Amino acid sequence: MADIIQLLPDHVANQIAAGEVVQRPASVVKELLENAIDAKATFIKLLVKEAGKTLIQVIDDGVGMSDTDARLSFERHATSKIKSAEDLFLLNTKGFRGEALASIAAIAHVELKTKQDSQEVGTCIVIEGSQVTSQEVVVTPKGTSIAVKNLFFNIPARRNFLKSNAVELRHIIDEFHRVVLAHPNIGFALYHNGSELFNLPVSNYRQRIVNVFGNKTNEKLVPVDETTEIVKISGFVGKPEYSKKTRGEQYFFVNDRFIKSAYLNHAIAAAYQGLLKEGYHATYFLYLEVNPQSIDINIHPTKTEIKFDDEQTLYAILRSAVKHSLGQFNIAPVLDFERDSNLDTAYNTTKVHHPKVEVDRGFNPFSAEKQTIANNAPTHKNSFKKEPSAQWESLYVGLESKSNDTANQFSAVEFESEPEKISIYNETVKDEITYSTYQLNNKYIISTIKSGMLLIDQNKAHQRVLYEDFLKHITVKEAMSQQLLFPLVLHFSKQDIEVIKQLKQDLEYTGFIFQAITKESVEITGVPVSVPESEVSILLEQLVSDVENEVPDANFSVTDLIAKSLAKSLSIKNGQKLNHTEQEHLVNSLFACKEPAISPSNRNTFITMTVDELDKKFV
């Protein structure tokens, strides 16, 4: 039998490696930005076109590379960060595997320009699908400029799996945030299709957070600072009243590297226990410094997951540090054993006397005589006095004759009374009120039908009703709005504002009226009739989150997504009690829909049980 195992060519191996390292344009952005930071850059510019599908270019003013280093940087497992396996546990840099540039060059057109400060001219290398097409001398500024064009040009299947530009740009901005928040000592700029999205100067951690998420963020932050032998924790957490239903603004950084950790996130949730509403999540930007030997960051291709030596101790320290900060800044009540008892308020030191109320019990407002105050009552300026009556009886002179005339006019009128229904017990029979619906556990509505009964989920049924209403309003472009007495100003981050701008026209068809949209705020003067003013902020936050987290295909419809999101946010929740009129209205509205059996999320809105099925339960 012939041998069937063979070595893969380098370009095929690089393409396979690229499947782990480069999943979408945001992956390229992450790798290139981290390389620029490792090159000791002080300012990094990111240029993106068509959400990274056409161009991703990173320009830095770092140390640059020599001719040989520039060529070797595109070889597999070529790196300047480590020399032995032991170095994996002493890492202070971002990249170390030496796979990023080789993987990117295997699936895109790459142009690299680099120059060291000691050299007069630089090097320009052009690579297409792992093949070096040219290498020549070029005049270029100090540092490195690398442009990645036509991503996945030789793997059309991978390119077809990319989402819409809005979704891909959102992922790029997310990666950009993770890098810039960890390095406030470096200036960053982001341009998309020639327009500037971010221009972040060198600053401290707090100012960098405010520059990224808007000036309104400053008042939401509570500082956290704790130093122990195991870990040093610094950063900020959000006040409970500014919590959100989404997990967008949650960042952990370990040794200036963004990580994801459900375990540490649970520690934050434990610190906020009792302070957040159900379904809401806290905001935090926490920076952890640990010994590099106590962590392993080489367990995931994207290096966003880390193993800790002692997770339980880290959990306890993190929870205590956050809880202490919330209590220290009067966000949550805590026990303070170092309080000076001399400053406490003394209780029960003076005897409390009940006030005495003196009234004139002989006061008569209809008496014409002047009222006098009892001798034992205190006399002061505001004592009770009664002025003489203004002969109020004269106001009724002449009315007696008119009333007699009116009485004579209606004296001949006879009123016909309805005959009473007399029962066999000689009692008046009252009409009995019967209801066709019944609410079970404030969650389900039971209604009878000819063959048995219906069991309706009130939340999913109301979602279907609202979904079709909003869909009709957006399609017909006619919706009722209620004007607000005062304009409502809501603050959002820059990327959320961009999403709202894209949805503005469709939202106006549902009944929203936008007065102005700035870089950080939205001014609303009108809302749909069914939307309470207090719910507008939560509604728009949920809508933006749904748009950002949606995984749309080629037939993605923004209109459909808006209708689903609004219906989900405004629908009757489980646990809400409905009266019989509301129950019947919901049932009638549901069966007036085009698709009453399925909710917008493709769940059943009701189930039926026939009399035969019920009979079998008692056999």
- Residues of the domain holding 459: 439-608
Task: Report whether pLDDT(467) > 80.
Answer: yes
CATH number at residue 452: 3.30.1370.100
Q: What percent of the chain has pLDDT above 90?
A: 24
Co-location of 263 and 157 in the same domain: no
pLDDT of residue 303: 62
Q: How does residue 431 score in pLDDT terms, banded at 50, 70 and 90?
A: very low
Alpha helices in 329-440 (DSSP H): 399-409
Largest CA distance in the chain: 131
Q: CA angle, corner 106, sides to 105 and 107, nearest 5?
A: 95
Q: How does residue 475 score in pLDDT terms, banded at 50, 70 and 90?
A: confident
Co-location of 223 and 255 in the same domain: yes
Which pLDDT tens digit goes with each residue over 171-182?
899 999 999 999
Distance CA 190, CA 150 (A): 19
142 backbone dihedrals φ, ψ, rounded to 5°: -65, 140
**Average pLDDT of 446-471?**
89
Which pLDDT tens digit goes with each residue over 536-556?
888 888 888 777 766 444 345
Co-location of 196 and 216 in the same domain: no
Q: Which of these three, 310, 328, 346, is where a domain ends?
A: 328
Task: Report whether pLDDT(71) > 80.
Answer: yes
Co-location of 93 and 111 in the same domain: yes
Q: Looking at the domain assignment, is residue 418 inside a domain?
A: no
Q: How does residue 529 score in pLDDT terms, banded at 50, 70 and 90?
A: confident
Q: Looking at the domain assignment, is residue 363 inside a domain?
A: no
What's the number of domains the chain is made of? 3
Q: What percent of the chain has pLDDT above 70?
A: 76
Distance CA 533, CA 220 (A): 22
Co-location of 178 and 255 in the same domain: no
Encode 70-87: b = buried (16+ Cβ within 10 Å), e = exposed. bbebbebeebeebeeeee
Residue whose token pair is 């520039």: 70
Residue 327: C-alpha distances to residues 175, 242, 271 (Å): 33, 16, 10
Q: Looking at the domain assignment, is residue 351 inside a domain?
A: no
Co-location of 229 and 131 in the same domain: no
Q: Looking at the domain assignment, is residue 406 inside a domain?
A: no
Co-location of 185 and 302 in the same domain: no
Mean pLDDT of the chain: 79
pLDDT of residue 382: 47
CATH number at residue 253: 3.30.230.10
Q: Looking at the domain assignment, is residue 349 inside a domain?
A: no
Task: Report whether pLDDT(364) > 50.
Answer: yes
Which pLDDT tens digit goes with each residue over 193-251?
988 889 999 999 999 999 998 888 888 899 999 998 888 999 999 998 888 877 778 89
Task: Report whether pLDDT(298) > 90.
Answer: no
